Amino acid sequence: MAFAPKHLIALVLLPVALTAQHPVPSDSVTPKAASSSHPKHYWRKLAAGFASSILFHEAGHVVTAYAIGAHPHFGFDKGRPTVYSGISASTDPHKQFLFSSAGLNVQAVLDEGILDVPHSKGSAFERGLLTGGIATAFFYATIGRNASNSDITFMARTSSLSKTQASLIYAGLAAVHTIRIAHDKHYANFFLRPGNTKGMRVGVAILPE
């Protein structure tokens, strides 16, 4: 599986779903809070969470490969850092399928745990983890699914699933997680600063007259 900056492209699918909900009641926000941005280092922590989600994805591949007796190694595919399974997809298709699906599976389970396990929700790092998992799933289900070393490509090649079916499975999970986030007050104003402005936030404020 290759990690490329294109993972970030999938983020364009998220802001509307993740920020257009739960306006903060005007009586619960002071003027100072309304004009302030996220706490110091917020974006740094969110980026760290995003990067950690990608690392969990790659670790899922590596750990799975060792668990099934393979010898994964790192290399480059068209200049992109890539984790190679050390498995022959033609002679051991089931093992290759386990390897190829592991990264997305780990991220899906991680996101599900964040949303399900009782804890203090809503930190910047946690939001970054969720963003990374959802963005990666949408990326592989859309523009990344046809790459020669795509996880979706190998899953379709080594199982009875088609690319479309595999894409729908992971995009469906990501969509469910997105909807749950959009209806959870802990994640209100996902990428935007808190404020007392009425209206729907979609990158810009749509204000009532």
Tokens of 171: 């995009």
Q: Is 47 exposed, middle or buried (0-12, 13-18, 19+ CB in 10 A)?
A: middle
Strand partners, 82: 2, 75
Residue 15 forms part of a structural domain? no
Number of domains in the chain: 1
- pLDDT level of residue 161 (50, 70, 90 thresholds): very high
Is 199 inside a domain boundary? Answer: no
pTM: 0.74
Q: For residue 126, give every residue at least 6 positions away whose Cβ sits within 8 Å of its Cβ, in sequence order, or none.
A: 49, 114
Q: Which residue has the higher pLDDT, 168 or 76?
A: 168
Decide if 31 is inside a domain.
no
Q: Does residue 2 fall inside a structural domain? A: no
Residue 68 lies in a domain: yes
* Averaged pLDDT score across all residues of the chain: 80
Structural domain includes residue 147: yes
Please check the confidence at residue 82 and state whether its pLDDT lies above 70.
yes
For the cut 90, the answer to whether the pLDDT of residue 190 exceeds it is no
As a whole-number percent, the residues of the chain with pLDDT over 70 amount to 72
Separation of first and last alpha carbons in the chain:
50
In a domain, residue 27? The reply is no
Task: Write out the residue range of the structural domain in which residue 147 sits.
Answer: 40-191
- Does a structural domain hold residue 46? yes
Of the listed ranges 17-21, 148-152, 181-185, the one predicted with least confidence? 17-21
